[in-house]
Amino acid sequence: MWLTQPFNERSTQLFIGVLLAAMTLVTLLHVVVPAGHPLHVNAYTVNLFGKYLSYALLAVAVDLVWGYLGILSLGHGAFFAIGGYAMGMYLMRQIGDRGTYGDPVLPDFMVFLSWESLPWYWLGFDMAWFGFLMVLLAPGALALVFGFLAFRSRVTGVYLSIITQALTFALMLAFYRNEMGFGGSDGLTDFRDILGFNLRSNETRLGLFLASGVALGASYLLCRAIVGSKLGRVCVATRDAEARTRFLGYRVERFQLFVFVVSAMLAGLAGALYVPQVGIINPSEFSPLFSIEIVLWVALGGRATLYGAVIGAILVNYAKTVFTGVMPDAWLFALGGMFVLVTVFLPKGVAGLLAYRFKRRRDESDAAPGQEVTP
């Protein structure tokens, strides 16, 4: 089966192993080791790790399209944000009459804008299954429409990058408007509970962290299965010689669309995991700066490896946490510097460095994307 194929790959076994070990370790250090002990991991840190994991999932989604399809999307933050908004809408409806204005149905900001009733697109979000489904379907649908138009007319390369950026920019402007019904510039916040669990309790935070880890692992396996299949090889072929792939009889635009939509859904999932952990979603997630930052995570970690994206996301965000705490002014210098240094000196990223050392030791060809797989 193509889905189980990844379990035969060494790099995947290693990745899943490390991920599981890390999740177990954090859980143990949080639950078993008593507070006050130097090794204890407090709830704040668990929450932070959970956030990193959802970012890592987002980076995997971007690497799928950029690394394997050659599409540099500067708008993946939009899918992330839409997934986040879908989750936020569900969480908003869960507040019920506990809001400031105490309206049993309308969220606070709608009461504030003196709206009479819920707009149609808010219907159904009181049900968890519907909200969670929308987390995948809403970004997927946007990607489907946008990708269909773009790939059909063969918009590629920098043009595609620019219009994905324009897409997320337009969405950001739109979501800033109060009339849109998504809370305007304040976004959605003041969430209380998810599936009945109090969002502010430590147990829920640990649960969300573990859920992020599981989602990351599962998504990673799915992506590996895709890139390891013949479809993955068609993607790499498209990336390197689109016209040639077409002459072989592949409808390139449909392959691009398929992978693009899968990637958008994963990004949406990442957003949905992110929102309950940070407690807010607002239009700034749509900002072009954020989308392009995601690309940096992938570039730093190393494109077309998937695990590189995870490494990059965690490294950059850890650095961001440290920097913004110690010297906030320097963060943009560091970020800008990373963009330049990585692209100029480290085109294959950290994963490339690792693979190089690995290769030297074993003196064997590394796992290049889409290597022939023996059954």
**Residue 107, number of CB atoms within 10 A of its CB:** 26
Q: Which is nearer to another protein, 86 or 262 (CB)?
A: 262
**Min CB(109)–another protein separation in Å:** 18
Shorter beta-carbon distance to another protein: residue 100 or 343: 343
Identify the CA nearest to 221 among candidates 107, 134, 307. Answer: 307
CB of 276 to another protein, least distance (A): 29
Shortest distance in whole angstroms from residue 9 CB to another protein:
16
If you write DSSP's letter for every residue of 163-202 in order, what string do you get?
HHHHHHHHHHHHHHSGGGSS-GGG-EE---EETTEETTSH
**To 5 degrees, how large is the angle CA 74–CA 79–CA 80?**
100
The nearer residue to another protein, 16 or 71, going by C-beta atoms, is 71
Going by C-alpha positions, the residue among 336, 352, 363, 269 that lies closest to residue 57 is 269
Alpha carbon 310 to its chain's center: 10
* Dist CA 311 CA 304 (whole Å): 13
Taking the least distance from each CB to another protein, the nearer of 19 and 236 is 236
Please identify, using beta-carbon distances, which residue of 23 and 72 lies nearer to another protein.
72
Burial tier of 249 (Cβ tally within 10 Å: 0-12, 13-18, 19+): exposed
Cβ contacts of 106 within 8 Å, gap of 6 or more = 115, 117, 118
Output the CA torsion 167→168→174→175 (10° steps).
150
Nearest approach in angstroms of CB 308 to another protein is: 15
Residue whose CB is less far from another protein, 50 or 75: 75
Based on CB atoms, which residue is closest to another protein, 197 or 250? 250
Q: How far is the CB of 234 from another protein (least distance, A)?
A: 6
Closer by beta carbon to another protein, 177 or else 200: 177
From the CA atom positions of the chain, what is the Rg in Å?
21
DSSP annotation of 101: T
Residue 158 beta carbon to another protein: minimum distance, rounded to whole angstroms: 5
> Cβ 61 to another protein, closest distance in Å?
17
What is the rounded CA–CA span in Å between residue 235 and residue 63? 12
Sign of CA dihedral 305, 59, 295, 143: positive
In the block, tokens 């494109």 appear at: 303
Min dist. Cβ of residue 239 to another protein (A): 8
Residue type present at position 21: A
